[in-house]
Amino acid sequence: MSKEDQDMNIENFLMRAEDDMDFLPIIPLNEGDQEDPNGVEIPDEIALLPLRNTVLFPGVVLPITVGRDKSIKAVNDAYRGDKLIGVIAQKDSNVEDPEVKDLEKIGTVAKIVKMIKMPDGGTTIIIQGKSRFATEAIIEEDPYFRAKIIKLEEEEAPKDEDFNAYVANIKDLAADIVQLSPNIPTEASIILRNIESPAFLIHFVSSNLNTDIKDKQRLLELNHIRERADLLMQLLQKELQFAELKNKVTTKTRTELDKQQREYFLQQQLKSIKEELGGDSNSQEIKEMQKKAEAKKWPAAAKEMFKKGVEKLERMHPSTPDFSVVYNHLDLMLDLPWEEYTEDHYDLKKAKETLDHDHYGMNKIKERIIEYLAVLKLKGDMKSPILCFVGPPGIGKTSLGKSIANAIGRKYIRLSLGGLHDESEIRGHRKTYIGAMPGRILQSIRKVRSSNPVMILDEIDKVGNDQRGDPSSALLEVLDPEQNNSFYDNYLELEYDLSKVLFIATANNLQNIQPALRDRLEIIDLSGYAVEEKMEIAKRHLVPRQKDLHGLKNTSFKISDKVLEKIIQDYTRESGVRELDRQLAAVMRSQAKELALHEKVKPSLSGEDVETILGKPRYSNDLYKTANMAGVAVGLAWTYVGGDILFIETSLSEGKGELKLTGNLGNVMKESASTALTYLMSNAKKYKLDNKLFEKKNIHIHVPEGAVPKDGPSAGVTMMTAIASAITGKRVKPFLAMTGEITLRGQVLPVGGIKEKVLAAKRAGLKEIILCWQNEKDVQEIDSAFIKGIKFHYVKTMNQVLELALEK
């Protein structure tokens, strides 16, 4: 390349330069000039040109835009003279007007190859580094810096293989960086391959290195070429790693962008195809939603939220994850029956007939529902009560809820709460979660499309709680008439009015319900059924249903009252009718088999037929005849499955007057035994008992069925009677049961669960019952027909109990 061609190349580069650049791409002009610095005489004093953003190396050509007045004057004077100028880097490139302290000590003597006046008044020079120098002293600062300098001699490049490897490695590293950097022209690698001088290669690569100015200055200051090559290799390695990482990130980003662009392009094509086929289905769905919303009656807050949701949906692409979230939320809002109610049936007589037809007995609940309907009829609007039916299993609490819904003409919802342990089941999840859905209350209301259904909260006493929350606490808001008009569901994110919903909770045991929740409920106790009631239920409901289920509906087969009573008394011991239903099903299966085999069935069953089908009787009242011996008394107990009877057995043995209690008894029951014994000891003279007997005899009280836990104060009178019977040797009267709490003063206190206990005694065939006088009101609530044949003794003191219980 001739000198003129080189100059033309430089000018072409300069024409593309931006005005605000301090220097342009570096172009080597003549490698040979750098190798012979002796061809240029270096003066002892020279004008200095401070550079802000780069370092000039010997042999390297650099275009510089000169803008500072001092620098322009220095360049002009040097260009008119020998064209030599000392180029030196600033320590801090941010300093606009550098002082002596701001300049580095070592720089490069440069020859001004060409000076060009730019149209904007600026000056651009092309300089070529000749030789390194060290500043000995600054002799002038005005009008520009002049310094006394010492020329630094360059050592010759070593000829050994080790250094040659350095040079080859520098070329390879530089070529790799050029290949990875899209901004560096590919011609640069050709230039690199053609450089033969090791010193010029180091200077050229150092000058083009994309590193900090301080690192370049360090390279310039190193005197030994081997050290300079070693540092350059380290910097190149660092630069190569950065270039590889940058290339990797760029490639990854470009790939992701290409994928997004491809998906967008395909979606646009799909949209065009849909439009050709008859319009975009998504826009049609949104239009249908808006059309439904116009006919919807809902609160202003819900209307506003729906409007915002639709606007958001219109802006979203169907493929985005949030589209389905917003769509499902709007769909729920449309499906919910805002301010939509079914019309209640105010015909009270017809409602009572419906309730009586579906369920036998349960007069207290039926009266409460009729009262509620009467108020609705008169007033037209009222907050629904929160009822809670409490009673043993199998008596029809849940089915009664459905009957109530039929009677008043409302939709029916049954919500099973047994084992529920997540609060979100009641209040819903936040819709941002994957798989989020509204709570079960709103889901049920959405399903029946009515805002005033009858909602059965089944087994409310069996709600669980764990780390995921306490559902019973969430129910506090639902079951409070003062709060449930603004029930907040996390998924809906709006308040919903539940005040018109007739909530009916069912439970077996009130003790398991949280006190705050129990306080919100109107408790209605449902006791177990008497034998007479069970017979009526069987005749009206169970037998016809089982005949229908077993294909015997069109047969003349009947079950007589006597056989029904035998099945109830000999094969069931329960408060409800579930076991009775199972026994009747067994009878019907037997008859269905007879009909299938012999094509005929008996018109009725005898007692012997029942024993053939169901086996020998499971329960017998003879037990209470044979068990009549001294020290044994019969008590009455209440369990969550209804009433039951239990034996209290007392035995005396030689010892030191110790009291031993067995039978899996609770603390309260143990204390009742201690109270009974203390009362008898303190009143020994009154009852003509030997005091020494209490010191010489051990008393052992046992309650059979030891695997069943027992507790409560109601067995107090029974324990006292059993101990007195054992000590006196007098037997307790046969077919006599008792229940009541005792005190040390000799009083008998009232206890609960009287109806269940009395019906249990009736089922067991007992004929006399001793109760506290304050429990007389509870007995009066029981239908007299169900307790016919039982004699009640109402007592105030334990003295009366012993007189009635012990045989003379």
Give catalytic residues, as residue numbers. Answer: 714, 757
Helix (H) or strand (E) holding 660: strand 659-662
What is the C-alpha separation between 179 and 181, in angstroms, rounded? 6
8 Å CB contact between 344 and 384: no
What is the C-alpha separation between 635 and 766, in angstroms, rounded? 11
A 10 A CB-CB count for 537 gives 21
User: Tokens standing for 15?
Assistant: 């024409």
- Secondary structure (3-state) at 666: coil
User: Tokens standing for 480?
Assistant: 């409070």
- β-bridge pairing 106-117 and 146-151: unpaired
Q: What is the SS3 assignment for 352-406?
A: HHHHHHHCCCCHHHHHHHHHHHHHHHHHCCCCCCEEEEECCCCCCHHHHHHHHHH
Place of tokens 């037990």: 623
Give how far the C-alpha of residue 288 lies from the chain's centroid of Cα atoms, to the nearest Å.
Answer: 33
106 bridge partner residues: 134
What is the C-alpha separation between 60 and 201, in angstroms, rounded? 10
699 bridge partner residues: 652, 659
Place of tokens 């910097």: 235
8 Å CB contact between 446 and 440: no
8 Å CB contact between 772 and 691: no
A 10 A CB-CB count for 797 gives 15
8 Å CB contact between 354 and 322: no
Cis ω on the peptide bond leading into residue 143 (within 30° of 0)? yes
Give how far the C-alpha of residue 436 lies from the chain's centroid of Cα atoms, to the nearest Å.
Answer: 9
User: Tokens standing for 323?
Assistant: 């589209």
Altogether, the residues listed in the chain come to a count of 808
8 Å CB contact between 181 and 240: no
8 Å CB contact between 330 and 431: no
- Secondary structure (3-state) at 139: strand
User: Tokens standing for 230?
Assistant: 């070693």
- Secondary structure (3-state) at 206: helix
8 Å CB contact between 107 and 113: no
Helix axes 300-315, 321-335, angle to 10 degrees: 150
* CA-closest candidate to residue 653, choices 620, 698, 587, 714: 698
